[in-house]
Amino acid sequence: MVSLTALTKIEVTMSNNPIQMQKLRQIMRLYCQGTGIKTIHGMIGTSRNTIKKYVRILHELDMTYEEFSAKSDSELSELFSAAPSQVTDNRRKEELEAMLPALSKRLSKKGVTREMLHKEYMAKHPAGYSRSQFNGSLRIYMALSRPVMHIDHKAGDKMYIDFAGSKLQVTERDGTERDVEVFVSILGCSQLTYVEAVDSQKKEDLIKGTENSLHYFGGVPQVIVPDNLRSAVTRGSKYEAGINEEFSNFAEHYGIVVLPARVYKPRDKSLVEGAVKLIYRSIYTRLEGRKFGDLESLNAAIRSALEIHNNKPFSGRTYSRREQFEDIERDALRPLNPIRYEVKKQSIVTVMKNGYIRLGEDSHYYSVPYTNIGRKVKILYTSDRVEVFYRHTQIAVHKRDRRKFHYTTDSDHLASQHKFLTEWTPEKFIQEASDIHEDVAHYISKVLEKKAYPEQAYKSCSGILSFARRVGPQRLTEACRWADSLGQYNFLVIEEILKKRLDQLQHEEEGAQIPQHENIRGKDYYQ
């Protein structure tokens, strides 16, 4: 049996260095929770000898952790700067120490609680210790007599991420079930865990899950350790893996190092794999038999179960992941970047003859310097920004505009001979066409795309739109539909369709074809 009395009879002489109260409180908390001195040294950084001195004084003072934590910094400084020269031994202490082995054994049985044991103890020893003192002595005895798992992770150092092997389901409106992925992250030191259902394992969802976990933890660790996920790692390596460019940009945004788990090194990923196994029992089982119509409702249920998981005491211990996080790791995390990271989408396009590029997702056009006409360029875009690059050099940047067939122009991008056309802009023609009909706007956008010179395109657009006044908007709309079906985009073809009244012929629903007519010239004529 471990003797508490023996420990209390050690005289201590403290060094002249002032005691850091925050570290002292952390050390005592960890020790009373069953953490070994070597592990405390690794977490806090205080020397082992100093930690031993603090622990000895705690026992010499015959103080429970509850009594310790209730004292002010000044009181603790006075107490731990010089230990009492003599410790009063008493009968209650000896009686309790004799009972601790049996009490500890009983506590391991199902249904037995500390409160139950204290009531039995007080029934036999009415003048015995209070419940807090009783629990403190029992906790210390168990910490000293039972081997505990060593925590080899430094506070605030690593966060491990992975996807669970088993998927969850979302029920669609038609009753069909759709599989969704489950993202898991865990802090190495405290083992605080985050879980979220996402649509896929693609980089966008990986980044989303990782970012949300940082906000859940309320801070940033030094390192992210992904398990060689394809969306994070482009090339696995024993020494230095290749990191996906987008994930690397995300990590840089938050100031985190990405250190993928080494190939064929199971120890590198054992923690997160263990976390996944635990959430199968603590979260998945709580969701069995329930249906969720969307990710939001599923994640709400996951979050509820997650809080139970994080606040439940570790097996064989008196403290939870949350308690360990708050005590050890929260203050070790670095502050979050207040600006959320935005995933950039990418597209490769050719600069059109009129000096614009087309963002296909929105069917919107953006100007680039006219010297880049005919070149292939890269578009990187977010929800509010469009950037254009040629050979890794940014050549244009615009605020994103989602209006279909509209143009965004920077006048500095125009050639000098074109800058006088300030009253004639793509935006002007598209807006005028949109006021007539969206099919006219579509046709005008094609005219703007295909003309080699801006003034040529503008004159053609001006002539086409003038027909709205001459023959009416309905006939112009039909003429644009006919010309679009031919793949011909200029003033002359619209003029001839209207002149021959071909716009008044009935369209076929599936791919309208202009009828054969002796006065209709071939498409090459209009180029």
> In terms of domains, do 356 and 290 share one?
no
Average pLDDT over residues 381-407: 88
> In terms of domains, do 108 and 231 share one?
no
Whether the predicted pLDDT of 323 surpasses 50: yes
| End-of-domain residue from the set 297, 332, 367 | 332
> At 255, is the secondary structure helix, strand, or coil?
coil
First to last CA, the chain: 99
More confident call, 3 vs 226:
226
Average pLDDT over residues 149-167: 77
User: What percentage of the chain has pLDDT greater than the value 70?
Assistant: 78
**Residue 254 maps to a domain:** yes
**Residue 362 maps to a domain:** yes
User: Element (H or E) spanning 166, and its range?
Assistant: none
Name the pLDDT band for 477 (thresholds 50, 70, 90). Answer: very high
Give the Cα separation of 16 and 7 in Å (integer).
23
> In terms of domains, do 389 and 412 share one?
yes
Whether the predicted pLDDT of 521 surpasses 70: no
pLDDT in tens, 134-152: 888 887 776 665 444 344 5
Provide the pLDDT for residue 243: 61
| End-of-domain residue from the set 302, 332, 362 | 332
Whether the predicted pLDDT of 332 surpasses 80: yes
Residue (of 4, 96, 20) closest to 59 by Cα position = 4
Whether the predicted pLDDT of 167 surpasses 60: yes
Map tokens 């460019």 to a residue: 245
Q: Give the torsion sign (CA, 338, 343, 346, 352).
A: negative
> At 479, is the secondary structure helix, strand, or coil?
helix
Residue pair 367/356 in contact by the 8 Å Cβ criterion: yes
**Residue 151 maps to a domain:** no
Provide the pLDDT for residue 271: 66
Domain that holds residue 226: 158-332
> In terms of domains, do 169 and 139 share one?
no
Residue (of 139, 352, 157, 165) closest to 259 by Cα position = 157
Whether the predicted pLDDT of 317 surpasses 50: yes
> In terms of domains, do 171 and 311 share one?
yes
Provide the pLDDT for residue 390: 93
> In terms of domains, do 412 and 488 share one?
no
pLDDT in tens, 1-57: 334 333 333 233 344 445 578 888 888 888 887 778 888 887 777 888 888 888 878
More confident call, 94 vs 465:
465
> In terms of domains, do 504 and 527 share one?
yes
**Range with the lowest mean pLDDT among 4-18, 30-44, 298-312, 423-437?**
4-18
> In terms of domains, do 103 and 199 share one?
no
Question: Domain count of the chain?
Answer: 4
> In terms of domains, do 407 and 302 share one?
no
**pTM for the full model?**
0.48
**Residue 153 maps to a domain:** no
**Residue 339 maps to a domain:** no
More confident call, 271 vs 342:
342
Provide the pLDDT for residue 395: 95
Give the Cα separation of 334 and 82 in Å (integer).
35
Whether the predicted pLDDT of 472 surpasses 90: yes
Q: What residue type is 403 in one-letter code?
A: R
